[in-house]
Amino acid sequence: MSMNSTMGREVPAWLAILLGLVFIAVGVIVLGDVVFATIISAFVIGVCAIVGGAFEIVHAFWTKGWGGFIWQIILGVLYIAGGVVLIQQPVAGALVLTWLLGVFILASGVVRIFLGFKHWAVAGWLLLISGIFGVIAGVIILSGFPTTGLWVIGLLIGIDLIMHGIGWLVLAVQPSARATA
């Protein structure tokens, strides 16, 4: 079944257009206040961490025979503690999340550059270009820190929502793409 199908049926063009327009509108709203979107994101991530931590602890008790009981409890408690901090201090949480994002993007870029040279014969230049962009993005995020911590996550979410909306609009004009595989 294709990703675009609804229980084996084709997605109607009007629905794809509606979804596209809604995602674009929401993306524009998010870009209108990226700081607010970043803080809300930190809060939501905190809630998700608390829920995930609670399930981790419950899972540890249900599956005692699997081993690693203590580690699962510790992990669950850490998730809950991190989630509580993100909820109580969403601005500080957004700063930490942005710093981690910058570090991960930078590290990922360095790895992609290395892999681009290593696999040059198999379109490694694409990995090299991607890695260079990753390094640049990571350096921009980290060099502007902590100021970037207040807007980077909101900016990326806004851009993602707009791109998602554009994807739905493109899908709407491509009837063969809406049909199931």
Neighbouring residues of 151: CB distance < 8 A, sequence distance ≥ 6: 34, 35, 38
Asked whether residue 61 is assigned to any structural domain, the reply reads yes
- pLDDT at residue number 122: 82
Neighbouring residues of 48: CB distance < 8 A, sequence distance ≥ 6: 83
Cα gap 147→150, rounded to integer Å: 6
**What's the length of the chain?**
181
Asked whether residue 1 is assigned to any structural domain, the reply reads no
Per-residue pLDDT of 29-74, as tens digits, reads 999 999 999 999 999 999 999 999 999 999 998 887 777 888 999 9
DSSP 116-149: HHHTGGGTHHHHHHHHHHHHHHHHHHHHTTTGGG
- pLDDT at residue number 64: 75
Q: Which domain holds residue 150?
A: 13-176
Specify whether the CB–CB gap between 162 and 24 falls below 8 A.
yes
Asked whether residue 38 is assigned to any structural domain, the reply reads yes
User: Please, which pLDDT band fits residue 4 given cuts at 50, 70 and 90?
Assistant: very low
Asked whether residue 2 is assigned to any structural domain, the reply reads no
Which token pair is 148?
């970037």
Asked whether residue 142 is assigned to any structural domain, the reply reads yes
Asked whether residue 6 is assigned to any structural domain, the reply reads no
- pLDDT at residue number 177: 56
Asked whether residue 166 is assigned to any structural domain, the reply reads yes
User: Please, which pLDDT band fits residue 176 given cuts at 50, 70 and 90?
Assistant: low
User: Please, which pLDDT band fits residue 3 given cuts at 50, 70 and 90?
Assistant: very low
Closest CA to 79 of 56, 98, 53: 53
CA angle at 133 for the pair 162 and 41, rounded to the nearest 5°: 45
Question: Total domain count for the chain?
Answer: 1
Asked whether residue 100 is assigned to any structural domain, the reply reads yes
- pLDDT at residue number 124: 83
User: Please, which pLDDT band fits residue 9 given cuts at 50, 70 and 90?
Assistant: low
User: Please, which pLDDT band fits residue 26 given cuts at 50, 70 and 90?
Assistant: very high
Per-residue pLDDT of 132-161, as tens digits, reads 988 998 998 899 888 888 898 889 899 999
User: Please, which pLDDT band fits residue 174 given cuts at 50, 70 and 90?
Assistant: confident
CA distances from residue 108 to 15, 54, 130 in whole angstroms, order as listed: 37, 31, 10
Per-residue pLDDT of 99-135, as tens digits, reads 998 999 999 999 999 988 988 888 888 889 989 988 9
Which token pair is 107?
């590290």
Summary mean pLDDT of the chain: 87
